[in-house]
Homo-oligomer: A and B are copies of this chain.
Amino acid sequence: MTAEIISVGTELLLGNILNTNAQYLSRELAALGITVQRQSTIGDNHDRLAEWVSEAKARADLLVFTGGLGPTDDDLTKETVAACYGDSLAFDGEEWAKITAFFTRMGRATTPNNRKQAMVPVRGEKIPNAHGTAPGAWFEQDGRCAVLMPGVPAEMKAMWAEQVRPRLLARQNCTLHSLTLRVLGGESEIEYRVRDLLQSENPTAAIYCKTGESEIRITARAATDEDGAEICRAYARKFYDLLGEAVYDEDVPGLAWTLVHTLEAKGMTIAAAESCTGGLIARQITDVPGASRVFGYGFVTYWEQAKTRLLGVDPAVIARYNVVSAPVAAQMARGARLAAGADIAVAVTGLAGPDGGDDVRPVGTVYIAGAAAGRVAVKKYHFVRPDRENTRARAAHAALELALRLAQGRTPAGCMTVEEAACGASDTLAALDGALVGQ
């Protein structure tokens, strides 16, 4: 089955808004085994739209429209597409009642134009919109279909998931099951290792690169959801065989989510001490609803005196080893853990740029430390892309990764570990600093 995605809206052609609908629908259609041949964006112009729809209808089995369902004269997708599919529109009392009720709730009056939104297909079908006033529409002629959804992403996504996808699945006489693996590690490296598994038709598997990690989405079409789940599980095992421990969770929104829920399950708490990440770690942890059950204290210690006063970092250690160093990261983690009374603390000190940095510590040099169970683990990174935002994001991700390994009671890879109680001792610090140079 082939499809084209058609976004309607002059505001898209002016670049006033970013078209995220096309990407969302492309992914969803791919998961259904439907090949998207084109994505197009066109304006609210009747003649151009009619010409375009006729051509596209000849090319593709399914046309998926978003936008142009509003009440103004500009909004003419519905009538134009209806004509192209040999259909017409009729006034629908039920939809009109929903629209007037909505306006009454908002304390506003309807205008004659609003009646346009209550027009629905005569031969085709209207598609209920549970999240807005404009119903969608389904047209069909000679086995070719068109589906019209609103342009507002939240309304479109809800209509897709609740109404359109089930309809397409029913036509294929099957159901769809998805499983998402979250994988730590360099993006292109992960993609390279699993490349052969991404060629499959059913289940499909796609990889999406994120900061410091990748998302692998496996989707199976099957007669029942049970069968679909089994197919996904079997295929997931192939990824686990290739990636092992790099797969850190399944069907979760991200690393912070897994960290918060791992800590909660173990009854543990965490604190963060941040220099160059400047609050990014705390923000990512508190992005997770319910984070307050494991996180109470975050320290953004941007200045040296803040590291000293809030975290008890020894000024002599800063003077001797530099504020961007393994000993300072270790003392920050220890200090945050003690000040917060937490089970685990992570700390970051580094150079995000664009200024600062020299031959010994170029911009992109970051030390991450994690304190737990009487020990402190420190790791040195050098993020080569000279981009402040990227360095901060990668550093925060690395800190969350270290925190997760500590919460799991695992020894994080590539770290130097010392006794927490020895963090103030000069020989221990020297060892830390020496061992990590050049890593």
Stretch at the interface among A10-18, A376-384, A406-414: A10-18
- Taking a contact as CB atoms under 8 Å apart, the answer to whether A291 and B279 are in contact is no
- Taking a contact as CB atoms under 8 Å apart, the answer to whether B278 and A287 are in contact is yes
> What is the count of identical protomers in the complex?
2
Stretch at the interface among A36-44, A61-69, A238-246: A36-44
Q: Interface code A32-50, partner B: CB below 8 Å = 1, 0 otherwise? A: 0000111111110000100
A289 at the interface (CB under 8 A from B): yes
- Taking a contact as CB atoms under 8 Å apart, the answer to whether B26 and A15 are in contact is yes
User: With a CB–CB cut-off of 8 A, which chain B residues contact A20?
Assistant: 18
Q: Which of B12, B23, B40, B302 lies in contact with A298, CB distance below 8 A?
A: B302
User: With a CB–CB cut-off of 8 A, which chain B residues contact A299?
Assistant: 298-300
Stretch at the interface among A112-120, A221-229, A303-311: A303-311
A357 at the interface (CB under 8 A from B): no
Q: Which of B12, B292, B301 lies in contact with A302, CB distance below 8 A?
A: B292
User: With a CB–CB cut-off of 8 A, which chain B residues contact A103?
Assistant: none
User: With a CB–CB cut-off of 8 A, which chain B residues contact A29?
Assistant: 15
User: What's the least CB distance linking A389 to chain B, in Å?
Assistant: 7
A424 at the interface (CB under 8 A from B): no
Cα distance A274–B297 in the bound complex, in angstroms: 10
- Taking a contact as CB atoms under 8 Å apart, the answer to whether A296 and B285 are in contact is no
A146 at the interface (CB under 8 A from B): no
- Taking a contact as CB atoms under 8 Å apart, the answer to whether A286 and B298 are in contact is no
- Centre residue among A22, A27, A388 by max chain B CB count within 10 A: A22
Number of residues of chain A lying within 8 A (CB) of chain B = 66
- Taking a contact as CB atoms under 8 Å apart, the answer to whether B37 and A22 are in contact is no
A318 at the interface (CB under 8 A from B): no
Which A260-297 residues have a C-beta within 8 angstroms of B? Answer: 272, 274, 276-283, 285-287, 289-292, 295-297
User: What's the least CB distance linking A328 to chain B, in Å?
Assistant: 15
User: With a CB–CB cut-off of 8 A, which chain B residues contact A277?
Assistant: 283, 286
Main secondary structure of the interface of A (DSSP, over half): mixed
Q: A295-B302, A302-B297, A302-B298 are in contact. Are A14 and B40 (CB under 8 A)?
A: no
Cα distance A84–B13 in the bound complex, in angstroms: 25
Identify the closest chain B residue to A38 (Cβ).
B42
Q: Which of B15, B283, B354 lies in contact with A27, CB distance below 8 A?
A: B15
A153 at the interface (CB under 8 A from B): no
User: With a CB–CB cut-off of 8 A, which chain B residues contact A36?
Assistant: 13-15
- Taking a contact as CB atoms under 8 Å apart, the answer to whether B310 and A303 are in contact is no
- Centre residue among A40, A297, A340 by max chain B CB count within 10 A: A297
- Taking a contact as CB atoms under 8 Å apart, the answer to whether B286 and A300 are in contact is yes
Identify the closest chain B residue to A290 (Cβ).
B355
- Taking a contact as CB atoms under 8 Å apart, the answer to whether B19 and A289 are in contact is no
Which A297-351 residues have a C-beta within 8 angstroms of B? Answer: 297-303, 305-306, 310, 340
User: What's the least CB distance linking A61 to chain B, in Å?
Assistant: 15
Identify the closest chain B residue to A3 (Cβ).
B13
Cα distance A19–B287 in the bound complex, in angstroms: 26
A91 at the interface (CB under 8 A from B): no
Cα distance A30–B354 in the bound complex, in angstroms: 32
A362 at the interface (CB under 8 A from B): no
Q: A297-B310, A298-B278 are in contact. Are A24 and B15 (CB under 8 A)?
A: yes
A-B residue pairs in contact (CB < 8 Å), sample of 16: A13-B38, A14-B36, A14-B206, A16-B27, A18-B20, A37-B48, A274-B282, A274-B298, A276-B286, A277-B283, A279-B282, A279-B283, A282-B300, A286-B300, A296-B301, A306-B340
- Which residues on A are within 8 Å of B, measured CB to CB? 12-20, 22-30, 36-43, 48, 206-208, 272, 274, 276-283, 285-287, 289-292, 295-303, 305-306, 310, 340, 353-355, 388-389, 392
Shortest 10 CB-CB contacts between residues of A and residues of B: A278-B286, A298-B300, A279-B282, A15-B26, A296-B303, A279-B279, A15-B27, A279-B283, A39-B41, A282-B300
Other 5 A-B pairs with CB < 8 A, given A291-B302, A297-B310: A15-B28, A17-B23, A278-B286, A287-B389, A306-B340
